[in-house]
Amino acid sequence: MGIISVRDYRQPIQQEVSPTEYVYTRTLMVIVDSPATNCKAVLDACPPVGVTLQTPWGNDAEARCIKRTPRQDVGNLLMWWVTCEYRSTIPPKLGLKLGGEGNPRQENKNPTLRPPTLSGNFNLIRTPAVQDLDGQWVLNSAGDPFDKPKYIESGAPTITFVQNMPTMPGRDLNRFYRAVNSTEFLGWPKDEARLNNFSFSGAVWENTFVYWQYHYTFEFGAHVTQDELIVDYGYQELKPGSDSEKVRMKDAFGNFAPDKLDGQGRRYSGPKGEAVYREFRFFKRMDFNELFPNGMPWD
């Protein structure tokens, strides 16, 4: 059980409690490799109580962490949210503007040189239930799957980036649509991030510059490349004793008819209600870092 990544989910929120006291609320997203990872392991990977505020959007050496609250995501047990509260009785230093304008790169007069902004959400995932928590197969009394299967619901994290670009999108962006990551991306390993959607808007004029806004939505999780299962099914089976010669299968009435196969090229003879699946990965790999020529906000 270990920690895969820890990063700021969004810019800290600054709030003035009184003329001489203010607080920052910082939200960290922690990705772990096991649902059994406990709170202590998650907190140990986060900035400890007592340290000063340091974020990709700015630092404040006078504000110190006084409280950390961990929460495991109910839809994705491999994700934790840690809310950190920083407090200081010294007025914020001039120039530190957390909450939207703190990153000097975001204030570049040329909007096409700014890093992207981002927001997060979850997608609902529904998969047919095969077994329950006690290991019992989800079959009717005759050993067949239910006509209306029971679905298990879970959530997959998504992140939408908005990147300012100097031109309209070209055909080369087709290469990235529905592709998965060829390298580590935002802390997620190879093949666990997929570009689900792309849109754009524009043209926009600002400070004599014209630009278009590209919207990229990524979905994360091992499921993005593991959901292409096809039932092993066909009209022919391998002839007994042969690895290449095939014969057409017949039903109980002697008619040629398709049937399930056992994964070895022969008619399936296992328990009712079960099926053998062949797994295929119909996807393409791309380096998503190419989509962000200005880097990330925390770079």
DSSP string, 33-89: S-TT--HHHHHHTSPPTTPEEEETTEEEEEEEEEEEEEEE-SS-TTEEEEEEEEEES
Report how far residue 234's alpha carbon sits from residue 186's, in angstroms, rounded to the nearest whole number.
Answer: 42
| Per-residue model confidence (pLDDT) at position 206 | 85
| Per-residue model confidence (pLDDT) at position 47 | 92
| Per-residue model confidence (pLDDT) at position 195 | 93
| Per-residue model confidence (pLDDT) at position 97 | 39
| Per-residue model confidence (pLDDT) at position 85 | 92
| 88 phi, psi to nearest 5 deg | -150, 150
Cis peptide, bond prior to residue 203, ω within 30 of zero: yes
The per-residue pLDDT string of the chain (299 residues; one tens digit each, 9 = 90 and over) reads 689 999 988 888 877 776 667 788 899 999 999 888 998 999 999 999 989 888 877 778 888 899 999 999 888 889 999 999 998 866 544 333 333 445 566 677 888 888 898 888 888 888 788 888 888 888 888 777 777 778 888 788 899 999 999 998 888 888 898 899 999 998 889 989 999 999 998 888 888 889 999 999 999 987 777 666 788 888 898 988 888 889 888 888 888 888 888 888 888 888 777 788 887 767 789 999 899 988 887 77
224 in Cβ contact with 180 (< 8 Å) = yes
Report how far residue 184's alpha carbon sits from residue 287's, in angstroms, rounded to the nearest whole number.
Answer: 9
DSSP string, 213-245: EEEEEEEESGGGGS--EEE-EESEEEPTT-SS-
Q: Calculate the alpha carbon distances from 242 to 222, 239, 265 in Å.
A: 37, 5, 10
pTM score above 0.85: no
